[in-house]
Amino acid sequence: MKNYSVKQYQESDYENWNAFIGQAKNATFLFHRDFMEYHKDRFQDFSLIVLYKDKWIGVVPANRVGNEIFSHQGLTYGGLVYNEESKLTTVINTFRVVLLFLEANGIGKLHLKTIPSIYHSKPAEEIQYALFLAEAQLVRRDSLSVIDLSKQYVFSKIRKRGIQKGKTNGLIIKEETDFESFWDKILIPNLDERHNAKPVHSLEEIKVLKSIFPANIRQFNVYYKDKIVAGTTIFETETVAHCQYISKYENDENLGSLDFLYHYLITETFADKRFFDFGISNESQGKKLNEGLSYWKESFGASTIVHDFSEVETANHFKLENIFV
């Protein structure tokens, strides 16, 4: 297409990439190159830059596996990122040239996970329409439990009892820059015992990311008689406080630690945010729902938005031709 071009990201694009992310309407600090590259040894980066007459109009944070491209698998969300000047027709054309470029470079399929709408600084669902036109296939849908803090929300009776229990037990909440206590005493043991899993971020990785993004990554711990009993790691963006990790010390004594903690975060620390995102309660690529976890989040007043994952054949770029009337 005339005047449009696509190129792969190079290290020399670092400053321009981050500047573009800083003014995009559907981007967060996760797309900053310093965040994307903390685990660059695990992924073959194949991020793309789209230009119109030499002006950046879009980027795709991505990695390559064989002859397929993925919205970066090291990030929670991804897709096509663009600025607030981009009109619907521009996004459709941008997506078309991305598919053309990928096909020309031997890539048969693009796996694209959208950016949930709560993370947009302005409405930015143009890419969903472009995916529809390209006959992309929906392959996964996760459910996020979200509180719209600009609207009235109500804690359930059982959550209120938990909050009161935390007060009665004299629990103390501290925001800390040290992640070791939570990682080593709460998070890692719980994930290992209950799910035979490890945190997505190692202790060293989260410490590095905190040093780079001190205002965006925050740790809150709960103490009972000077002993850590629970905690949560929050990723904070312009519009959202997102719970990256939630965990408590598992024993027979229910102290009300998480109810007490989340009441504080929702009603005080992040009361001025637009959204509070508890994250997903899904397993098996969205096909299973952890009913108890979902109920716990909803009992704080959260309700559901969805996060979609799609696949599109790069050869389907022709489906984006001749659509304007």
Please tell me whether residues 211 and 84 are part of one structural domain.
no
Please tell me whether residues 101 and 160 are part of one structural domain.
no
Please tell me whether residues 106 and 207 are part of one structural domain.
no
pTM: 0.94
What separation in angstroms does the CA of 292 have from each of 193, 247, 253, 297? 18, 15, 19, 9
Whether residue 201 lies inside any domain: the answer is yes
Please tell me whether residues 167 and 231 are part of one structural domain.
yes
Strand partners, 63: 45, 70
State the total domains in the chain: 2
Query: Other CB atoms closer than 10 Å to residue 111's CB: what's the count?
Result: 20
Whether residue 288 lies inside any domain: the answer is no
Please tell me whether residues 217 and 253 are part of one structural domain.
yes
Q: What is the dihedral of CA 205, 211, 216, 217, to 10 degrees?
A: 40
Please tell me whether residues 107 and 137 are part of one structural domain.
yes
pLDDT tens digits along 120-144: 999 999 999 999 999 999 999 999 9
**Average model confidence (pLDDT) across the chain:** 96
Whether residue 267 lies inside any domain: the answer is yes
* Tokens encoding 145: 């439990």
pLDDT tens digits along 18-62: 999 999 999 999 999 999 999 889 999 999 999 999 999 999 999
Q: Which of 212, 213, 210, 187 is nearest to 200 (CA)?
A: 187
| pLDDT of 17 | 98
CATH of the domain at 113: 3.40.630.30
Please tell me whether residues 9 and 130 are part of one structural domain.
yes
- Does position 316 have pLDDT exceeding 80, yes or no? yes
Whether residue 264 lies inside any domain: the answer is yes
Residue 257 sits in which domain range?
A: 151-273
Please tell me whether residues 183 and 254 are part of one structural domain.
yes
Please tell me whether residues 105 and 196 are part of one structural domain.
no
Please tell me whether residues 115 and 164 are part of one structural domain.
no
pLDDT tens digits along 188-206: 999 988 888 899 999 999 9
- Does position 161 have pLDDT exceeding 80, yes or no? yes
Whether residue 109 lies inside any domain: the answer is yes
| pLDDT of 252 | 54
Whether residue 38 lies inside any domain: the answer is yes
Please tell me whether residues 9 and 126 are part of one structural domain.
yes
Whether residue 203 lies inside any domain: the answer is yes
User: Please, which pLDDT band fits residue 244 given cuts at 50, 70 and 90?
Assistant: very high
Please tell me whether residues 238 and 133 are part of one structural domain.
no
Whether residue 303 lies inside any domain: the answer is no
Q: Strands across the sheet with 240-248, in order?
A: 44-45, 62-65, 68-71, 109-113, 303-313, 137-148, 275-280, 240-248, 227-236, 217-224, 172-176
What separation in angstroms does the CA of 75 have from each of 95, 96, 113? 20, 23, 10
- Give the Cα separation of 242 and 233 in Å (integer): 8
